[in-house]
Amino acid sequence: MDIILCGGGDIGSAVAEMLTAGGESVTLIDPDEKKTRHLNDRLDISTIEGSASSASILRSAGVAQADAVIATTDVDEVNLVICDVAASLGAARTMARVDHSMFLQDEQFDYAAVFSVDRLFSPDRAMASAMASRLRNPAALAIEHFAGNEIELQQITVDPQAQAIGQPLRTLAMPQGARLAAITRDGEASLPSADATVEGGDVVTLVAERKVFSAMRQLFSKGVYGQQSIAISGGPPAAVWLCRFLKGRAFDIRLFEVDRERAEELGEKLDWITVINADPAQPEVFDEEQLHRADAFISMRSDEQNMLACAYAKRNGVENVMPVMRHAEFMPLLEELGIDRTWNPCDAASQAISRFLHCHEFERIDGFFDNTLELMRLRVGCHAKLIGQTLASIGDEPPMLVLASEDDQGTPFVPGGGLEIAAGMHMIVLSTTAKAAAVRKLLDAGGPR
């Protein structure tokens, strides 16, 4: 694909690296000559020095022939204007980074439609959503988000005393909008039949709309974690998103912010948490707040501060530390400190953009099954042989389980057997590895609408 990337900062450079590694053709536009020269020397991309909101600059980049224009500057309004101009000049698709929640949560005004943007994305919001999923589901072995984070897929180990033990799946009272996608036993994953049962120690792959996931998970685990104590160091926008995602009685959140004015602002905005004007990495603050008892310690300040704060928390008894790290050079030191998991808004942005670019085609989703099953994200083409058939009527050959889909308005849902397959429909599909190619052919995955 030919991609025009507008903005060569941290987000833009990370995305450019991801796209070139995937074999895409990238033209990057940025007014800073030092940035364009650095990226041109480091990556196999074309660069243009100038303002991407200029029609002449976009034309020189080949906007009319581009498969997508992605605006990643650190100014929301500039990104929206870039996409508006690009769309008017014939860009096939546009995507804009927006960091202010106003652009993402205003139900009375559709900014994406007004500025001709096909997709809005926030790196901070995407990262915070992934962090919140990990905090809500500490026992999950793997977690994946679909459809704007509204649907989750998780793998968990079945507790020996779980309610679902020994019961055929057809008799389990699974909530609407939830499915058991696979059962892994003795390292072998399989698509379950309606008469299949689970045993203690099995690994089950669950998919559910976010609002019912907790009820679904409780069938297979003890499901009682108690109220978690969460300490957050720093109050950037990502911390605000995280607090919003965790809002509820399951979490006791203390947010520490060293800037008094920002702390007061956060206290008014997030009235369901405790905001403290202090640095939790200071020993006297850590001890006074008894942070050694926290279930999780999250740091969202500079890389150096995050590394030191999380190392101190881990050394003093906090098992789950979650540093936000923007630069990879710190990773070896973190591993020496016993911290093997970090969070990065650049990674979140790269994942969001990759999914946007491939939503019209086909993409494997790795990390859940080794060889037996294959998880796919795809779009149904107009030549699909299954168009017009319901999920309940398509039979077992080739084996295929549709885990998630989107309706005509883009609303995600976990479908039942009555869903009728239509051209252009986006789906998350699970099949056996041996039959995955046959499934893609039947659905004309990535073919014309």
d(CA 111, CA 165): 48
CA within 13 Å, CB half, 398: 21
Same domain, 68 and 136: no
Q: Provide the Cα torsion 329, 239, 117, 326; round to 10°.
A: 0
Q: Does residue 357 form part of some domain? A: yes
**Distance (Å, whole) CA 122 – CA 96:** 9
Residue pair 175/208 in contact by the 8 Å Cβ criterion: yes
Are residues 60 and 18 located together in one domain of the fold? yes
Tell me the average pLDDT across 36-52: 93
Same domain, 102 and 89: yes
One domain, residues 164 and 63? no
Burial class for 175, CB neighbours closer than 10 Å (0-12, 13-18, 19+): middle
Residue 222 has pLDDT above 50, yes or no: yes
pLDDT for the residue numbered 410: 59
pLDDT tens digits, one per residue of 3-43: 999 999 999 999 999 999 988 999 999 999 999 999 989 99
Q: Does position 147 have pLDDT exceeding 70, yes or no?
A: no
pLDDT exceeds cutoff 80 at 361: no
Q: Provide the CA 192 distance to its chain's centre, in angstroms.
A: 27
Q: Are residues 283 and 387 in the same domain?
A: no
Instruction: Give φ, ψ of 310 to 5 degrees.
Output: -70, -35
Residues 411 and 343 in one domain: no
Residue 447 lies in a domain: no
Instruction: Tell me if 339 is assigned to some domain.
Output: yes
Q: Is residue 222 part of a domain?
A: no
Structure tokens at 143: 């977690």
359 with 281, same domain?
no
Contacts of residue 108, defined as CB under 8 A and 6 or more positions apart, other chains included, come to none
In the chain, what percentage of residues exceed pLDDT 70?
A: 92
Whether 51 has a pLDDT exceeding 90, the answer reads yes
303 domain-assigned: yes
At residue 196, does pLDDT exceed 60?
yes
Domain contains 265: yes
Please calculate the CA angle 362-446-381 and round it to the nearest 5 degrees: 135
Q: pTM of this prediction?
A: 0.75
Q: Which helix (H) or strand (E) holds 128?
A: helix 123-136
pLDDT of amino acid 360 = 57
What total of structural domains would you count in the chain?
4
Q: Which pLDDT does position 409 carry in this prediction?
A: 55
In terms of domains, do 234 and 344 share one? yes
Residue span of the structural domain in which 193 resides = 126-217
pLDDT at 146 over 80: no
Q: What is the CATH number of the domain that holds 247?
A: 3.40.50.720
Residue 229, CA distances (Å) to 255, 290, 377 in order: 11, 11, 36
Which residue, 96, 121, 146, sits at the end of a domain? 121
> Tokens representing 69?
């224009």
Last residue of a domain, one of 185, 217, 249: 217
Token code pair at residue 126: 């995407």
When the pLDDT of each residue in the chain is averaged and rounded to a whole number, the result is 88
Question: Which H or E element spans position 426?
Answer: strand 426-432
Distance between CA atoms of residues 393 and 48, nearest Å = 53
CATH number of 151's domain: 3.30.70.1450
Residue 449 lies in a domain: no
| pLDDT tens track for 87-111 | 999 999 999 999 887 766 654 556 7
Q: How would residue 376 be classed by pLDDT, with cut points 50, 70 and 90?
A: confident
- Residues 6 or more apart whose Cβ sits within 8 Å of residue 142: 154, 155, 367, 368
Interatomic CA distance for residues 78 and 390, integer angstroms: 44
Backbone φ and ψ for 169, nearest 5 degrees, come out as: -60, -30
239-297 pLDDT per residue, tens? 999 999 898 778 999 999 999 999 999 999 999 999 999 999 999 999 999 999 999 99
Handedness of CA 356, 357, 362, 367 (dihedral sign): negative
Token reading at 21? 């590694």
What pLDDT digit, counting tens, does each position of 323-332 carry?
A: 999 887 878 8
Give the amino acid at 362.
F
Q: Are 12 and 107 found together in one domain? A: yes
140 and 116 in a common domain = no
Do residues 199 and 280 both lie within one domain? no
Q: What is the pLDDT of residue 107?
A: 47
Which residues are CB-contacts of 335 (< 8 A; sequence separation ≥ 6)? Answer: none
Residue 85 resides in a domain = yes
User: Among 299, 329, 349, which residue terminates a domain?
Assistant: 349
Give, in order, the Cα–Cα distances in Å from 73 to each of 53, 80, 218, 245: 11, 10, 42, 25
| Domain identity same for 144 and 255 | no
Buried b / exposed e along 291-309 (16+ C-beta atoms within 10 A)? beebbbbbbbbebebbbbb
Looking at the DSSP bridge assignments, the partners of residue 71 are 6, 96
